[in-house]
């Protein structure tokens, strides 16, 4: 099976104003509190969704551009097919 890129969610942080990349698993883990650990290690306090995206965090960008040399903190994930789409 070929490696699949991790599914990322981009969330604007209310404390620093940057938009950070958050993995799907970290998003699921922090969805009730509104705090998510970004791929750069920053704990993101989610800004209200009416806020427009801020400037993309340079540390997250550099880590994502590293490609296959991603640090161990970023888990490799496979995209899952949604059930309601597979029933057609």
Residue 47 forms part of a structural domain? yes
Residue 75 forms part of a structural domain? no
To the question of pTM greater than 0.75 for the whole model, the response is no
Residue 84 forms part of a structural domain? no
Residue 45 forms part of a structural domain? yes
Residue 66 forms part of a structural domain? yes
Q: Work out how many domains the chain is built from and give that number.
A: 1
Instruction: Identify the residue with better confidence: 88 or 16.
Output: 16
Tokens 């970004």 label which residue? 38
Instruction: Classify 15 in phi/psi space as left (phi over 0), alpha (psi -120 to 50) or beta.
Output: alpha
Residue 76 forms part of a structural domain? no
Task: Quote the CA–CA distance of 44 and 1 in Å, as a whole number.
Answer: 33
pLDDT digits (tens, 9 = 90+) for 36-59: 999 999 999 998 878 788 899 999
Residue 15 forms part of a structural domain? yes
Residue 32 forms part of a structural domain? yes
Task: Quote the CA–CA distance of 37 and 49 in Å, as a whole number.
Answer: 18
Q: How confident is the model at residue 77 (pLDDT cuts 50, 70, 90)?
A: very low
Parent domain of 44: 8-70
Backbone angles phi, psi at 84, to 5 degrees: -65, -25
């Amino acid at each position: 099976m070929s490696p699949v890129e991790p599914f990322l969610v981009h969330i604007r942080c209310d404390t620093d104003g940057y938009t950070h990349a958050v993995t799907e698993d970290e998003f699921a883990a922090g969805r009730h509190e509104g705090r998510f650990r970004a791929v750069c290690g920053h704990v993101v306090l989610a800004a209200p969704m009416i806020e427009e995206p801020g400037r993309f965090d340079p540390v997250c960008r550099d880590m994502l551009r590293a490609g296959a040399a991603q640090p161990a903190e970023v888990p490799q994930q496979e995209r899952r097919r949604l059930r309601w789409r597979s029933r057609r």
